[in-house]
Amino acid sequence: MMSNSVKNLKTGSPSGRIVKALSGYYYVLPDGADPHGATVQCRARGVFKKKGINPLVGDEVLYSLTENGEGTVEEILPRSSELIRPPVSNVDLAILVFSVTEPTLNLQLLDKFLVHIEHAGIEPLLCLSKRDLEAEGDETEEARKATEDVRRIYGAIGYEVYGTSSRRGEGVEALHERLRGHIAVFAGQSGVGKSSLLNAIVPGLALETNEISNRLGRGKHTTRHVELIEVGGAYVADTPGFSQLDFTELGIEDLGYCFKEMRELAPSCKFRACTHVHEPGCAVLAAVEDGGVAESRHRHYVQFLTEMKEKKRRY
């Protein structure tokens, strides 16, 4: 991490946030400026490249102005988080979107996403989308049960659960309100309604949804630049975000830490390096036994652990 150099602060370099990156340019919104006002088009100082540092959208920076009205990014202030996909820094809230049906709610996938969000040090928030389908009774018995499970299991762990219908505009305002003061990304499987939700929250955004891209007969996952959109005191990354995840960046020893309720119980395990699989005196296993930890959560934890061990063996 880079230090917030006193020298630079003394020179009084203006500060701002990179809200967009495109073709080697960084667009910096000056601190205190109208969030919908002009940005300063900046190049990064050559030294960043030499050091292998990439300025990211979301970075708080110090910059200097050049004669032509453009600027130079002089320094990147310490980041609170860093995502690789989408490439955004300082995100502090991830809205994990799952539809009540179409596609069917998959708790294993939900846990997988949660692991990654926890690993990135970002606060997750669960959002059950397409509530109108639930209300209309369009969903299967299986989906209804999964919806109940989400509220029961994840609410008990301490995760906030929101419900929305972009189609009817329900729950969108409450979610928007929750974003205030944060830099947020939307994550979730393709087709759960992330783009629709973003479009509902950000007026005029007009993100392409599946419906439109299918009609045009092209894939939805065209690479596009990331941009932070200011909306009512919050920033959201205008990208449908991560929809595919794997465990390559996650160490096996980190997994237990990424399950919030297990992380909280781990200090009570008899062994310090307890993996919560078969050890005697394991507080997590005891909690699974008496219902304090959901069986599905522990099962997925063991599945991910096995998956990671097998992957490691193959290399």
Name the site residues for ligand GDP (rule: CB under 6 A). 129-130, 132-133, 165-167, 188, 190-196, 209-211, 240
Strands 71-76 and 40-44: parallel
Pick between residue 19 and residue 274 the one whose CB is nearest to Zn ion: 274
Q: Please, what is the minimum distance in Å from the beta carbon of residue 283 to Zn ion? A: 6
**How many residues make contact with Zn ion (CB under 5 A)?**
5
Of 205, 245, 197, 240, the C-alpha closest to 221 is 240
Smallest distance, ligand GDP to C-beta of residue 254, A: 27
**CA 46 to CA 106: how far, in whole Å?**
46
Nearest-approach distance from CB 130 to ligand GDP, in angstroms? 4
- Which residues are CB-neighbours of 159 under 8 A, at least 6 positions away? 114, 124, 125, 126, 260
Provide the token pair at 282: 């394991």
Which residues from 252-291 bind Zn ion, rule CB under 5 A?
269, 274, 276, 282, 284
Of 62 and 95, the one with the shorter C-beta distance to ligand GDP is 95
Of 87 and 191, nearer to ligand GDP (C-beta) is 191
Nearest Cα neighbor of 64 from 108, 11, 134, 13 is 13
**Shortest reach from residue 29's CB to ligand GDP, in Å:** 26
Residue number, 21 or 269, with CB nearest to Zn ion: 269
**Secondary element (H or E) of residue 198:** helix 194-201
Residue 266 Cβ vs Zn ion, minimum distance, rounded to whole Å: 6
Pick one of Zn ion, ligand GDP, none as the site partner of residue 190 (Cβ within 5 to 8 A by kind).
Answer: ligand GDP
CA dihedral 292, 295, 296, 301 (to 10 degrees): 90
How many angstroms separate the CA atoms of 205 and 207, rounded?
6
Looking at beta carbons only, is 234 or 274 nearer to Zn ion? 274
Asked whether position 201 contacts Zn ion by CB under 5 A, the answer is no
Q: Which two tokens stand for residue 111?
A: 């846990």
The three-class DSSP label of residue 42 is strand
- Nearer to ligand GDP by C-beta: 30 or 103? 103
Among residues 127, 129, 102, 293, which one has the least CA distance to residue 196?
129
* Helix or strand holding residue 162 (H, E): strand 161-163
The one of Zn ion, ligand GDP, none whose footprint includes residue 132, by CB under 5 to 8 A per kind, is ligand GDP
Nearest distance, CB of residue 288 and Zn ion, angstroms: 10
Residues in the chain: 315
Q: Which does 191 bind (CB under 5 to 8 A by kind): Zn ion, ligand GDP, none?
A: ligand GDP
Q: Which does 276 bind (CB under 5 to 8 A by kind): Zn ion, ligand GDP, none?
A: Zn ion
Axis-axis angle for helices 172-179, 194-201 (nearest 10): 80
Enumerate residues 79-118 that contact Zn ion by CB under 5 A. Answer: none
Q: Which does 269 bind (CB under 5 to 8 A by kind): ligand GDP, Zn ion, none?
A: Zn ion
Nearer to ligand GDP (CB atom), residue 40 or residue 96: 96
Provide the minimum distance between the beta carbon of 245 and Zn ion in the complex, in angstroms, as a whole number: 25
**CB 79, CB 110: distance < 8 Å:** no
**Any bridge partners for residue 273, and if so which?**
none
Site of interaction with Zn ion (CB under 5 A): 269, 274, 276, 282, 284
